[in-house]
Amino acid sequence: MTRAVITECNDKRYLLIYEENGLAECHPLTKDNALQIGNIYIGRVEKTVKNIQSAFVRLDEKHVGYLPLDDKPAKILNRALPKGLPSIAECDKVLVQVEQEPLKLKQAKVTGNISLSGNYVALDLLEGMVGVSNKIRDVERANQLKAMVPSDMPYGVIFRTACEQAEDAVILAELQMFRNQMDVLLHRAEYERNTGLLQGGKPEYLAILEEYGWTRIDEIQTDMHEIYTELSDKIPSLGATNFCERAAQSESDRNKVENLQPRLLYYEDEYPLCKLLNLESEISHLLDKHVWLKSGGFLVIEPTEAMVVIDVNTGKSIGRKRQEEHLLKVNCEAAVEIAKQLRLRNLSGIILVDFINMKQTESREQLIRILKSALRKDKVPSRFVDVTALELYEITRKKIRKPIYELLDT
pLDDT tens-digit series, residues 219-233? 999 999 999 998 887
Among 42-46, 235-239, 359-363, 388-392, where is mean pLDDT lowest? 235-239
What per-residue confidence (pLDDT) applies to 46? 92
Please give the residue that has the higher pLDDT: either 360 or 31.
360
What per-residue confidence (pLDDT) applies to 320? 58
Residue 241 pLDDT exceeds 50: no
Strands 64-68 and 108-111 come out as parallel
Using left for φ > 0, alpha for ψ between -120 and 50, and beta otherwise, residue 357 falls in beta
What per-residue confidence (pLDDT) applies to 319? 58
pLDDT-based confidence at residue 206 (cuts at 50, 70, 90): confident
Q: Where are the domains of the chain?
A: 34-201, 203-276, 288-407
The DSSP line for 250-289 is -HHHHHHTTTSSSEEEE---SS-HHHHTTHHHHHHHHH-S
pLDDT-based confidence at residue 259 (cuts at 50, 70, 90): very low
Mean pLDDT of the chain: 86
Choose among 287, 317, 316: nearest CA to 303. Answer: 287
* Across 208-215, average pLDDT: 83
Q: Which 3-state string (H, E, C) describes 26-61?
A: EEEECCCCCCCCCCEEEEEEEEEEHHHCEEEEECCC
Q: What is the dihedral of CA 215, 24, 122, 38, to 10 degrees?
A: 140
Contact 307, 349 (CB under 8 A): yes
What per-residue confidence (pLDDT) applies to 239? 43
Residue 217 pLDDT exceeds 50: yes
pLDDT-based confidence at residue 33 (cuts at 50, 70, 90): low
Please give the residue that has the higher pLDDT: either 117 or 260.
117
Tell me the percentage of the chain whose pLDDT exceeds 90. 56
What per-residue confidence (pLDDT) applies to 32? 59
What per-residue confidence (pLDDT) applies to 118? 84
What per-residue confidence (pLDDT) applies to 250? 45
What per-residue confidence (pLDDT) applies to 323? 83
Among 197-201, 295-299, 350-354, 384-388, where is mean pLDDT lowest? 197-201
Q: Which CATH architecture has domain 34-201?
A: Beta Barrel (2.40)
Q: 350-401 pLDDT, tens per residue?
A: 999 999 999 899 999 999 999 999 999 898 999 999 999 999 999 999 988 8
Amino acid at position 321, single letter: K
What per-residue confidence (pLDDT) applies to 28? 92
- For the question of whether the overall pTM of this predicted structure is more than 0.85, the answer is no
Please give the residue that has the higher pLDDT: either 214 or 235.
214
Strands 298-303 and 290-292 come out as antiparallel
* Across 285-313, average pLDDT: 93
Of 3.40.630, 3.30.470, 1.10.260, 3.40.50, the CATH number of 288-407 is 3.40.630
Choose among 333, 330, 336: nearest CA to 378. Answer: 336
Q: CA 284 → CA 48, 133, 270, 279, 302, distances in Å? A: 43, 37, 24, 9, 15
Work out the end-to-end distance of the chain between its first and last CA atoms, rounded to an integer number of angstroms.
Answer: 34
Among 60-74, 166-180, 185-199, where is mean pLDDT lowest? 60-74
How far is residue 57's CA from residue 288's CA, in Å, rounded to a whole number?
A: 37
Q: What is the dihedral of CA 188, 190, 196, 202, to 10 degrees?
A: 40
Element (H, E) at 248: helix 243-248
What per-residue confidence (pLDDT) applies to 317? 65
Grouping H, G, I as helix, E, B as strand and the rest as coil, residue 106 is strand
Q: 122-133 pLDDT, tens per residue?
A: 999 998 899 999
How far is residue 372's CA from residue 377's CA, in Å, rounded to a whole number?
A: 9
